[in-house]
Structure 1
Amino acid sequence: MSAEDAEDRGRPPRRPSAKLTVVVGDARFSEDKAFLVQSCDYFGALFRSGMKECRQDEVHLQGLGARGFLAALTASRGEFPDLDGLDDLVEAVECAAFLQAAPLARRLVDLVDSDNCLLMYRAAAAFGLDAVYRAAALFIRNVYADLEAEAKESLTPELIAYVESLTPSAFVAVGAHASCGADRPPLAASRTVCRLDESANVWKVLTELPPEASTSMAGVAVLDNRLYVVGGVHGPHKRATASSFCYSVDTDAWSRIPGLERPRRGLGLVGADGRLYAIGGECDRTATASVEAYDVEAASWAAAASLPRPAAAAACAKAAGRIFACLWKPTETTEIYEYVSRADEWRPVATLIRRRSYGHFLVGHRDDLYVVRNGPADDFLRCLVDCYNLRSGQWSSLPGHFANSKGALFTAAVRGDSLLTLSQSETQEFAVADRNWKPRRRMKGFPRSGSLWTFLLRLPDPRPAP
């Protein structure tokens, strides 16, 4: 260590100046220091280190690519970096790992698809980017039947072993049931959560709902491979309940979690970044704009920014790591809003106007939001689908229409590049590509009447461990 370095280490670190020039290869970037510290742990550690470099106005990053660094900056601003080429993805993975740039890592997780999952998996393993490594491995496991031969040609035995150690995401469903209450026993035959055994094409019971759990007009969502049932109705008068439950696949057990501050029914429920968001619904049979956020680690609910206006049964979804909700202005306007957690506010995203039709269900796949709406007037047996691309800000319509066989398109789960829909008569898988849905295969329907909830869970492998 030089005398100058020793002297520098003895001084308290200075506060970062307003701007820092970052030199990456032949490119120079002038950025606000506070922004860099907030976006990348690398810069946070640098400016806390007390070393000479933390007082310089120019920093050189050796061995990184300018395109990867630009992607990190773009993702940190909440925008979409241009990562269309495979080389761009590898450079971005390296940069995200070196800079410990969480926003870029989250964006890369969202970009894993059938065409790049093997490359992303290898790159994340090489550079030690854990979030992308696990996301790519889970993606490969879910589509392993299609990719096994290619995977065994391009992956090391160690990488293959990790993929094969994972369990694929199972398609799971539950019907709509009010809580039973203490005065009558649960109907165990119908109050069950079931999984589809796709190899045998048969539905099997996974677990039974707790007697006090309601899936009728409730919020149902999966977060970190746990199933949550929040609110809903109970009793013959269908009163709103605050009761909330969590199912752990690891312990095969239900537990009660704190109830909502305001009991509600007809709410939307979305999980993201360790929180559940209970969106809108009805309190005392009146639509509400209230939103509550449940912090899983703290096990507590807190108020979040309210919707722009009251809404019950609002269609909600997550896409590109962001939360969206559809609000109606019957009978022909659907407005999409995004919840921005860092600002705790709802921001308008897009508006869809279709004559005598509005969105009833929302599906997020990568950078696309699919609004599933009824046909003209009250033709609910004919579903039409419009797609809004978050990057381009453009609407497009899927060709033709989809038969809404008793609610099939009002519930769906995205697995890899597929969309699974469900009705009493059949389970249908669509391949999602180029903003279009193409029928891929049909399987057995769910033998329950009424509304359905569908979701994905990674279930423990029933085979005994070696």
Structure 2
Amino acid sequence: MPLHGSESEDGDSCVDPDGGGYLPCSASGLGSERLTVVVEHTSFTEEKMVLVRGCEYFQALYRSGMRECRQQEIHLRGLPARGFCLVLEVLRGEVPVLDGDIIVEAIQCAAFLQVSPLTKYLIDRIDSDNCLLMFHTAATFGLWDLYHAAALFVRNMYADLEVEVRKNLPSELISFVESLTPSVFMAVGAHVTCDVHETVHAASRTVCYLDETGNHWKTLTDLPLDASTLMAGVTVLDNKLYIVGGVCGVQKQVVDSCFCYSVENNSWSKMAGPSQPRFNLSLVGLDSRLYAIGGECERTVMSSVETYHLDSGRWTFAAHLPRPAAGAACTKAMGRLFVCLWRPMETTEIYEYVLGKDQWRLVTSLIRHQSYGHCLVGHRDDLYVMRNGPSDDFLRCRMDCYNLGTGQWTSLPGHYANSKGSLFTAVVRGDSVFTLNRTMTLEYTVDGRTWKPRRQMKGFPRSGSVWTFLLQLPECIKDRDR
């Protein structure tokens, strides 16, 4: 992206003594200095540090030694003003609304200016209404992270989108989508570590996936002998399965070892455990981090939270929960992390973890007589709280929806459960929600804010607690099981 008049000047540039090229002019003193950027005859004024922190283009500019790094106004050519306005809104931490036209302009700016926060913002907002536009536009401008994320979303919804895909996308993009393997519905039951006389298969210690075509469950992998999923934290991040904590023995001894399963290598590896041993925790993966939330240890319910950084392989403590919680319902929505806490006897509170501020923020409260939220699911900008009915109808599952945009609650009509009993687990794939118990797997279609039963498949034949999630399996694994 050319600058208006991009000659360099001699004498004023600052050379990086470590060999990194030119440092930003007055790099340590940018502070609250402001820069005016002119795009399509529209002037935008913003703090230089806001631009430098989130945009590789401006990082390079202030390392270049060019004249513009000392100017108070620069001109960007060939970019749309509305797209650049959205860049600034995202860099400021705002939550702009996306529509068709602005999506194209936002992708153009994200690609040319290399604005990684905007790319992430777009990825977090892929849905069935915009996925084809995101995919095609990202391919046009070479925004490859968005390109791959949108392609996988399309692949996961191919049964619903195939006609539209073939009508609107060029052949090379269709071929790429069809070359991908869709994410599959996975489950693992609650199992303790094996003793020396027990084999893996004898204990049915298996991670399974649902073959939707054949309508039966297949084994993906066996749990390691010293792994426990009983009261453990289980989650998926970057297509890898993580198991943290858990207990073994009648005394509920905390399992020290934690495990990661790589689908690509079809192998397990051990990883460091949290600094505070814990079980009955909630585990969530988001933005290259695992969050171990609450849990128990030595008969004490905890409010502490730890994050595991995939890059460094280290656990660090984060802000405590507002109050102790074990087995709290958690979910992700729009790239944000939410936890559902219950206050006896009638109040369910939803908190968001604000990463940039390392704090928990109360989002909303739901008051229902003698009920609590025991499952939390995010779809688009909606949070769905599944809860038991009042005490005289405890096994009937009710659902309420909270919209992050409007801040409004809506009660969904009817009951939501698999056969007789409440809905304790649910996984979103595209516009579908998969739930299961021992008797059936039930897929719902999310239509507006209504869940409509779509199809019924075989249940997961395990007793006790079950963890469900999605993984994208290589074709070689599926071929192995055919």
The 5 A counterparts of 1:44-443 are 44-83=59-98, 85-182=99-196, 184-186=198-200, 188=202, 190-377=204-391, 379-405=393-419, 409-443=423-457
Q: Cα gap change, 1:359/1:3 in structure 2, threshold over 3 Å: closer, same or farther?
A: closer
- Which 10-residue stretch deviates more, 158-167 or 395-404? 395-404
Partner Cα separation in structure 2 for residue 380 and residue 61 of structure 1: 61
Opposite residue 97 of structure 2, the aligned amino acid is: D
Q: Aligned-pair distance for 1:332?
A: 0.8
Contact 2:232 2:247 in 1 (8 A): yes
Paired amino acid for 1:113: D
- CA offsets per residue over residues 177-234 of structure 1, 9 Å max, x none? 1222446544535211111000111111111111211111110000010001110111
1:452 Cα deviation (Å)?
Answer: 1.0
Q: Report which stretch shifted further, 70-79 or 331-340.
A: 70-79
Equivalences, count? 464
Letter of the 1:155 partner, please give it. L
Deviation at 1:429, TM superposition (A): 1.1
The separation in 1 between residues aligned to 2:431 and 2:11, in whole angstroms, is 52
Partner of 1:34: 49
Check whether the contact 1:244–1:256 (CA below 8 A) recurs between aligned residues.
yes
Moved more, 138-147 or 269-278: 138-147
Q: Spell out, residue by residue over 1:104-136, the C-alpha distance to the aligned partner (whole angstroms, 9 max, x if none).
A: 211211221222211111100011111210111
2:84 alignment partner AA: F
Q: Please give the alpha-carbon distance, in whole angstroms, between the structure 1 residues aligned to 2:93 and 2:317.
A: 24
Task: Name the amino acid aligned to 2:68.
Answer: E
Paired-residue identity, %: 61
Q: CA deviation at 1:374?
A: 0.8
| RMSD after superposition | 2.2
* TM-score where L is the length of structure 1: 0.94
- Give the match for residue 13 of structure 2: 11
Contact residue 279 and residue 292 of structure 1 kept, 8 A: yes
The question of whether the paired residues in 2 share the 8 Å contact of 1:242 and 1:261 is answered with no
Q: Distance between the aligned counterparts of 1:408 and 1:426, measured in 2?
A: 13
Cα 1:170–1:407 change in 2 (3 A) is: farther
Shift of 1:326: 1.1
Cα–Cα, structure 1 residues 41 and 183, in superposed 2: closer, same or farther, change >3 Å? same
What TM-score do you get using the length of structure 2 for normalisation?
Answer: 0.91
Q: Is the 8 A contact 1:9 1:50 kept in 2?
A: no
Q: 1:435 to 1:108 in 2, by over 3 A?
A: same
SS of corresponding position for 2:202:
coil
Rounded Cα–Cα distance in structure 1 between residues aligned with 2:6 and 2:395: 77
Judged with a 3 Å threshold, the aligned counterparts in structure 2 of structure 1 residues 464 and 228 are, in CA distance, closer, same or farther, namely closer
Aligned equivalents of 2:162 and 2:5: distance in 1?
Answer: 58
Q: Which digits, 9 at most, give the CA deviation of each residue in 1:291-314, with x for residues without a partner? A: 111112222222222111111111
More off after superposition, 376-385 vs 437-446:
376-385
Whole-Å separation in 2 of the counterparts to 1:426 and 1:79: 42
Once residues 378 and 253 of structure 1 are traced to their aligned partners in structure 2, the CA distance between those partners, rounded to angstroms, is: 47
Residue range with higher mean Cα deviation, 158-167 or 198-207: 158-167
Counterpart secondary structure, 2:128: coil
Quote the offset at 1:424 in angstroms: 1.1
Q: Distance in 2 between the 1:339 and 1:186 partners?
A: 38
Secondary structure (helix, strand or coil) at the match of 2:357 reads: coil
For 1:312 and 1:290, locate their aligned partners in 2 and report how far apart those are by CA, in whole Å: 11
Seen in structure 2, the aligned counterparts of structure 1 residues 4 and 281 have a Cα distance that, compared at 3 Å, is: closer
Q: 2-side partners of 1:278 and 1:366: how far apart? A: 24
Deviation at 1:402, TM superposition (A): 1.2
Partner of 2:18: none
Counterpart of 2:380, as a letter, is R
Counterpart code for 2:78: G
For the 8 Å contact 1:201–1:443, the answer to whether it is kept is yes
Query: Per-residue deviation at 1:460?
Result: 0.8
Q: Tell me the SS of whatever aligns to 1:145.
A: helix
Contact 1:406 1:423 in 2 (8 A): no
- How far residue 407 of structure 1 moved from its aligned partner, in angstroms, is 6.1
Report the secondary structure of 2:256's partner residue. coil
8 A contact 2:39–2:79 mirrored in 1: yes
**Deviation digits for residues 268-294 of structure 1, max 9, x if unmatched?**
000011111100000112100111111
1:257 is displaced (CA, Å) by 1.0
Q: Which runs of 5+ in 2 are unaligned?
A: 15-23
Deviation at 1:246, TM superposition (A): 0.9
- 2:331 and 2:339 in contact (8 A); partners too: yes
SS in 2 for 1:47: helix
Alpha-carbon distance, 1:65 to partner: 1.9
Distance 1:262 1:321 in 2: 27
The gaps in structure 1 that reach 5 residues or longer are none
Counterpart CA distance in 2 for 1:137 and 1:346 is: 33
The one-character-per-residue Cα deviations of 1:347-403 (angstroms, maximum 9, x if unpaired) are 221111111111111111121111111111274421111111122222222122213
> CA–CA distance in 2 between the matches of 1:417 and 1:3?
49
* Structure 2 CA distance for aligned equivalents of residues 405 and 286 of structure 1: 35
Does structure 1 conserve the Cα–Cα contact (< 8 Å) formed by 2:111 and 2:142?
yes
> 1:176, 1:215 within 8 Å by CA — same for their partners in 2?
yes
Cα distance change on mapping 1:441 and 1:18 into 2, 3 Å? same
